Structure formats: C-alpha cells, structure tokens
Structure 1
Amino acid sequence: MLIDQQMTDNRQNSSKIFRSEVKFIAGAAKISQLPKIFLPQVAFVGKSNVGKSSLINKVCNRKSLARISNTPGRTRQINFFNLANKLILTDLPGYGFAKVSAKEQQEWEKLIIYYLQNSHSLELVNILIDARRGIKENDLTIINMLSEFNKKIQIVFTKSDKIKINEKFLEENKKSLATLGYSCNVIITSSKSGLGAKELQISMAKSIGKK
C-alpha cells in the first residue's frame, strides 16, 4: 500500500513539474561560468547526435527548449533549465565528436568532468545511448567515471523506434552492465513515439526532496 501511494505521488509530482513553465537560466562554456545551484539537478549526457535535444524537448513537453540539429556537436556548453522551481535539468555537450579541434574537445571534457564531480545537488545522471549502436567504450568511460564520483546513473536508450526492441534487448543490456559491476535503472525511449517519456519524468521527479 505504501509503495503504491509513493508511486502515485511520484506520478503526480512529475505531471505537475513537466506541465509547468520551463526557464533557461544559464549556459556555461567555462568552469568559471557555472552557476551556483541549490535545487536538485538531473543531467542528460551522451554521445553527439544521440538524440539528446529531441528527448529533452519530449520530456519537457516543449518543441524547441533544447536546439535540435542534424549536426553533431551543436550543444557546446552546459545549459541549465529550471523546471517549476523544483528541479534543474542540465543539458551537457555531447562526447565523442571528432569534427571539433582537439583543444575544444579537451575543454568540453574538462568542463563536463568538473561539473559532474563537483555539483553536490546532482541527484541523477541520464546517460543516453543510441539503441542501434549499443553501449560503446566511451559510454563505459562515462559510466565508470560517474561510479567513481558516487553519482546515481540511469541508462536511457534513444531512437528505439528505428530498431526492434523487446524484453530480451532490455535484459541483455542489464546483464552486460551487471557483468561489468554496474547496477542501474534502464529506460527505453523514442522521441518520435513518446515511448519512455513518462517513465523518465517520474524518475526525475523522484530527485526532488532528497536533500
């Protein structure tokens, strides 16, 4: 009964948050530009062109909150969004994009690592992975780093509408993560159909009130 009530509360909280106004509050291209945040934060990170912007727009019920582009590497700073004065959503630059200079890539990595390690109100990191590609080496690097930082992670498979997804796919990926010593929630999503958007909203809403 208590678990059922908690699930109902989480669903209601998520509905309120993601129906409310969403405000862009800051963009940080350098460590010195990172804002002081006291509300709970949920971050979105993934390889370039993983569908991060499309998924953020779907989750927030907006069409152009996060810029959508077919050009990998479009997000070149950490963008912070305030959701109903309850939660901060952070959109991080994509990793693994080879068409920027080595210096720029290093600056991105430095910024991302500093943010992930030092944001004390960061309650959840959604690691986005293209379902067609599966978990790659650079994804594992991020997962391992976040584990060392003691950050809670959630694997979010994107673009599931482009391949056949079933329970076997989900279990195989959970097993692969468990074999590597990682135990975390896995969500399958599609920005096109909306699959997994509500589940993602609920998982984010759970971050509120933890501090």
Structure 2
Amino acid sequence: MANVERKTVDKSPLKGIPIVWIIGGPGSGKGTQCELIHIKFGFRHLSTGDLLRHEVLSGSTRGTQLYKLMSTGECVPYEIVDDILAEAMVAKVAKHSTDGTLQGFVLDGFPLDLEQAQAFEKDIGSPKAIIFIEANDTVLEERLLARGNFDDNKTSIEKRLHNFYTKTVPVVEHYGDLVKRINAERPKEEVFADVQKVMESLSDPVSQ
C-alpha cells in the first residue's frame, strides 16, 4: 500500500443504517439523483471525490500524503478511501443522531470497480440497494459536451466511458438482482420517479 496513514474508526454507529450505491456513466445524472434522494428521503449524499479533495485541502498529514498520490495520477488505496468514507459517515451519524433527519447514506458514483466494492463491504458494510442510472454513449457524450467543463472534451469522454465499461459495469453484473436499472435518457423528474420507487421499497417488509 502507498505510504498514507490510516486512522482507526469505530464503525459501530453505522450498524443497521441503510447504504445505497448510485452507479452510472459520466453524464448520467448520478449527482442530481443523489441530491433528490437526500431531499426526499433524508439520506446523506457522499462523494468520495469530494471527500478526498476536502482532506487534501485540509492540510493534514494524510491530506499531504494524498496530494502526492493524486497529483501524480496514482490511485488512492481503497482502504484509505474507506477510512475517509467511514469517518464522514460516523460524523454524520453523531451530528444527526438526535434530530432524526439521517435515514441512510447514498454514495455518489460508488464503487468504481469490483475490488473497491468488495473492500467497502469488508471495511464498512453491504449496500441495501444499488441503483444503476443508465444511458447510451451518444446521450452521455452530448450531455458532457453541453456541460462544457474543462475536462469534458471528446478524448477525455471516450477514456472515461472506456473505464466505466471495463471497470464499473462488472460491478453491476456481479451484484445481479440487488441492482435496479433505471433509464436515464429522460428528464430528471421522470428518472427520479423510478428512483423513488426503489427507495420506497427499502422500507417495504415484502422486499426484505
């Protein structure tokens, strides 16, 4: 493992709290659906990318170590990603333990591949549902180009799509019936109507 310090995290407060993974290609609208889930269902929206960037910007020893990895294009070890995720989740539980507003966690664009999925299950726990927001390549490319971010160019998009199909789609195949496929080639409100059905089924005794 790369030289990044690990922290011991008491994960017991996370026991029994539902976790949902949101998977989808670049431009599929994962972040939008995660925010809608947060608003409607009280699930806290977490993005590993945001958490890693926040740690780097914090100036901590671990953040400096992460910066050295990330700035050279190296992957952050999954155990470190899990440490940071667990810390954020436990902090959210502590913050909202008395007001009852935390109903679960929704992880944005997670996991990236099967190895990361299995590491998460070992370190933190298993997802209660996996939602696959899917759209064809043409739709994804058009959305990304229209968005106009600095990294949304044709070459970058092709590489990201390739990584998605070779690394992330096998997660969908591995988890089988736990994965709920939702067509994202529609307005976000229509997509969320189907996402909402999945979320509501999590508390349905028949679906357990």
> Higher relative CO (CA 8 A, sep ≥ 6), structure 1 or 2?
2
TM-score range, shorter chain: 0.3 to 0.5
As a proportion of its length, which structure holds more strand?
Answer: 1
Q: Which has the higher Rg, Structure 1 or Structure 2?
A: 2
